[in-house]
Amino acid sequence: MTQASLETIRAASPAVLPSLLLCDFGDLKGEVSRLADAGAKVLHLDVMDGHFVPNMTYAMPIVEGLRRHTEMPLDVHMMISDPLTYAKPMVDAGADLLTFHAEAVIDAAETAQQIAELGVSVGVALNPDTPLASIASCLPHVDMVLVMSVEAGFGGQKFNPIALEKLRALRDADPDLLLQIDGGIDASTIGPARAAGCDLFVVGSAIFKKDDYKAAFADLNAAMTSEIKTEMNGGQA
């Protein structure tokens, strides 16, 4: 199932991944249905422990609950201090892709390999101030790199353009590696991120603070492609 889920994610890209942090948790089944109708192919779950980051969110019960209501791949972003402790419970709950933070572990390559042994796809994330060199050793062992354009766990931050530089460097180094961006993604930032080589775009408020999810997806997808078309036209819209 996991390999099939990874192929589903690859086939869907470039894709908008709704971050369920802002969804209506009193109606998870309804939210999943609305998102599917709007065009979602993958769901993104932000797990925070109140230690690695200052906020706390949901954990395995929410992953398990979502798994009962959808066959869409569940992309679980673990913003936690001890990802290996919770990796297997997350997989057992139904996660398809587990992403850990390079800043949270001593050996990113070893962590990636141990998570992969659980039969799940693996991603590694890094905050804006973390250099790409810190994940170089684990790149052969991961399926995806998540480039944060804001510091993980803190709300109200501005999009950091250093994320675009990292995306370009990663794309130049490996044309086949899945690249994801998270933080401040909306109609104004999704185009530059796509032009930098990104495949997967985690979006929160630009979807969930809209009344019409389908219109929100349409706006994001249009903005995603407009930058590419502009570049192809020599910089003219």
The answer on whether 191 is annotated among ligand-binding residues is no
The answer on whether 217 is annotated among ligand-binding residues is no
Distance CA 232, CA 77 (A): 34
The answer on whether 46 is annotated among ligand-binding residues is yes
The answer on whether 234 is annotated among ligand-binding residues is no
The answer on whether 182 is annotated among ligand-binding residues is yes
Structure-token match 């057992």, residue found: 92
The answer on whether 101 is annotated among ligand-binding residues is no
Render the burial of 151-170: b for 16+ CB within 10 Å, e for the rest: ebbeeeeebbeebbebbeeb
Distance CA 117, CA 137 (A): 17
Distance CA 121, CA 89 (A): 15
CB 60 within 8 A of CB 78: no
DSSP assignment string, 26-60: GGHHHHHHHHHHHT--SEEEEEEBSSSSS-B---H
The answer on whether 154 is annotated among ligand-binding residues is yes
CB 205 within 8 A of CB 184: no
Q: Is 64 exposed, middle or buried (0-12, 13-18, 19+ CB in 10 A)?
A: middle
The answer on whether 156 is annotated among ligand-binding residues is yes
Q: How many CB atoms lie within 10 A of CB 41?
A: 17
The answer on whether 153 is annotated among ligand-binding residues is yes
Structure-token match 């684990």, residue found: 138
The answer on whether 19 is annotated among ligand-binding residues is yes
The catalytic residues are 46, 182
The answer on whether 235 is annotated among ligand-binding residues is no
For the annotated binding site for a divalent metal cation, the residues are 44, 46, 77, 182
For the annotated binding site for substrate, the residues are 19, 77, 153-156, 182-184, 204-205
For the annotated binding site, the residues are 19, 44, 46, 77, 153-156, 182-184, 204-205
